[in-house]
Amino acid sequence: MNSQHFQTPIEYLKGVGLTRAEVLKKELNIHTFADLLKHFPYKYIDRTRFYKIKDIQPDLPYVQVLARLVSKEMMGEKHTKRLVAQAKDDTGIIELVWFQGIKWVEKSLVPGQVYVLFGKPGFFNGKAQMAHPEIEPYNPKAPQQRGALTLQPAYNSTEKLKQFSLDSKGLQKLIAALLDQYAREIHENLPAYVLNRFKLAGRAESYRNIHFPNDAAQLHEAVLRLKFEELFFLQLKLLKNKLTRTAKFKGNVFGTVGHYFNEFYHHKLPFELTDPQKKVLKEIRVDTQRGVQMNRLLQGDVGSGKTVVALMSMLIAIDNGFQTCIMAPTEILANQHYQTIKSLVGDDFVELALLTGSVPQKKRRVIHEQLEDGTLKILIGTHALIEDKVQYKNLGLVVIDEQHRFGVEQRAKLWRKNIIPPHVLVMTATPIPRTLAMTLYGDLDVSVIDQLPAGRKPIETKHFYDAQRLRMFGFMKQEIAKGRQVYVVYPLIQESEKLDLKNLIDGTEVMSREFPLPQFRISVVHGKMAAADKDFEMQRFIKGETQIMVATTVIEVGVNVPNASVMIIENAERFGLSQLHQLRGRVGRGAEQSYCILMTGQKLSADGRVRINTMVKTNNGFEIAEIDMQLRGPGNIEGTQQSGVLDLKIADLTTDQELLTKVRKCVEDLLAADPQLALPEHQILHQSPQEKNGGLSWDKIS
Ligand code: ADP
Ligand code: MG
238 belongs to a structural domain: yes
Tell me the angle at which helices 577-584 and 621-632 cross, rounded to the nearest 10 degrees: 160
Most confident of 46-50, 93-97, 429-433: 93-97
Q: Is the domain of 167 the same as that of 93?
A: no
| d(C-alpha 535, C-alpha 555), whole Å | 11
* d(CA 327, ligand 2 centre) in Å: 12
Q: Whose CA is nearest to atom 25 of ligand 1?
A: 453
Q: Is the domain of 481 the same as that of 609?
A: yes
36 belongs to a structural domain: yes
- Could you tell me which residues come within 8 angstroms of residue 37 by beta carbon, excluding any fewer than 6 positions away? 1, 6, 175, 178, 179, 207
Q: What's the CATH number where 116 sits?
A: 2.40.50.140
* d(CA 302, ligand 2 centre) in Å: 6
More confident residue, 697 or 229: 229
Kindly give the number of the ligand 1 atom that is closest to the alpha carbon of 309: 6
Q: Whose CA is nearest to atom 19 of ligand 1?
A: 305
Query: Domain range for residue 416?
Result: 259-287+304-428
CB-side exposure of 342: number of CA atoms within 13 Å?
A: 12
Is the minimum distance from the CB of 274 to ligand 1 under 6 angstroms? yes
Nearest to 228 by CA among 688, 698, 681, 648: 648
The answer on pLDDT for 697 being more than 70 is: no
Other Cβ atoms closer than 10 A to 421? 23
Mutate which of 281, 307, 337 to test ligand 1's pocket (most atoms within 8 Å of Cβ)?
307
Most confident of 287-301, 461-475, 579-593, 647-661: 461-475
The answer on pLDDT for 316 being more than 70 is: yes
Q: Is the domain of 30 the same as that of 55?
A: no
218 belongs to a structural domain: yes
How high is the pLDDT of residue 88?
95
Cis peptide before 518 (omega within 30 of 0): yes
Q: Is the domain of 219 the same as that of 79?
A: no
Domain termination residue (choose one: 428, 452, 483)? 428
Q: Is the domain of 40 the same as that of 56?
A: no
More confident residue, 454 or 258: 258
pLDDT tens for 407-436 read: 555 566 666 666 678 899 989 887 777 777
DSSP secondary-structure letter at 468? G
Total number of domains in the chain? 5
The answer on pLDDT for 62 being more than 70 is: yes
450 belongs to a structural domain: no
> Among all ligands shown, which has an atom nearest to the Cα of 341?
1
The answer on pLDDT for 147 being more than 60 is: no
Q: How far is CA 332 from each of CA 243, 339, 355, 382, 542, rounded to the nearest angstrom?
A: 37, 11, 12, 9, 12
Q: What's the CATH number where 506 sits?
A: 3.40.50.300
| d(C-alpha 557, C-alpha 540), whole Å | 18
Nearest to 226 by CA among 208, 249, 246, 203: 203
Q: Which range (252-266, 332-346, 557-571) has the least confidence?
A: 557-571
Neighbours of ion ligand 2 (CB under 5 A): 307
Q: Is the domain of 193 the same as that of 139?
A: no
Is the minimum distance from the CB of 303 to ligand 1 under 6 angstroms? yes
Q: Is 338 exposed, middle or buried (0-12, 13-18, 19+ CB in 10 A)?
A: buried
Q: Is the domain of 8 the same as that of 114?
A: no
- Could you tell me which residues come within 8 angstroms of residue 165 by beta carbon, excluding any fewer than 6 positions away? none
Mean pLDDT calculated for residue range 219-248: 90
pLDDT tens for 190-218 read: 999 999 999 999 999 999 999 999 888 89
Is the minimum distance from the CB of 304 to ligand 1 under 6 angstroms? yes
Q: Which range (352-361, 389-398, 689-698) has the least confidence?
A: 689-698
* d(CA 163, ligand 2 centre) in Å: 55
Decide: 17 and 11 in contact? Cβ < 8 Å. yes
**Model confidence, pTM:** 0.69
Q: Is the domain of 85 the same as that of 195?
A: no
Domain termination residue (choose one: 618, 637, 671)? 618
* d(CA 407, ligand 2 centre) in Å: 19
Q: Is the domain of 36 the same as that of 161?
A: yes
Is the minimum distance from the CB of 302 to ligand 1 under 6 angstroms? yes
* d(CA 487, ligand 1 centre) in Å: 21
380 belongs to a structural domain: yes
The answer on pLDDT for 636 being more than 80 is: no
355 belongs to a structural domain: yes
| d(C-alpha 561, C-alpha 563), whole Å | 5
Other Cβ atoms closer than 10 A to 624? 25
Q: How confident is the model at residue 103 (pLDDT cuts 50, 70, 90)?
A: confident
386 belongs to a structural domain: yes
| d(C-alpha 11, C-alpha 22), whole Å | 8
Q: Is the domain of 193 the same as that of 226?
A: yes
The answer on pLDDT for 166 being more than 80 is: yes
Mean pLDDT calculated for residue range 51-72: 87
Q: Is the domain of 586 the same as that of 685?
A: no
Domain termination residue (choose one: 186, 209, 236)? 186
pLDDT tens for 119-144 read: 888 887 788 999 888 888 887 765 54
Q: Is the domain of 159 the same as that of 223?
A: no
Other Cβ atoms closer than 10 A to 321? 15
pLDDT tens for 548-598 read: 999 886 554 556 788 999 999 999 998 889 889 988 988 987 778 999 999
The answer on pLDDT for 249 being more than 50 is: yes
Other Cβ atoms closer than 10 A to 295? 23
The answer on pLDDT for 610 being more than 80 is: yes
DSSP secondary-structure letter at 381? E
587 belongs to a structural domain: yes
Is the minimum distance from the CB of 588 to ligand 1 under 6 angstroms? no
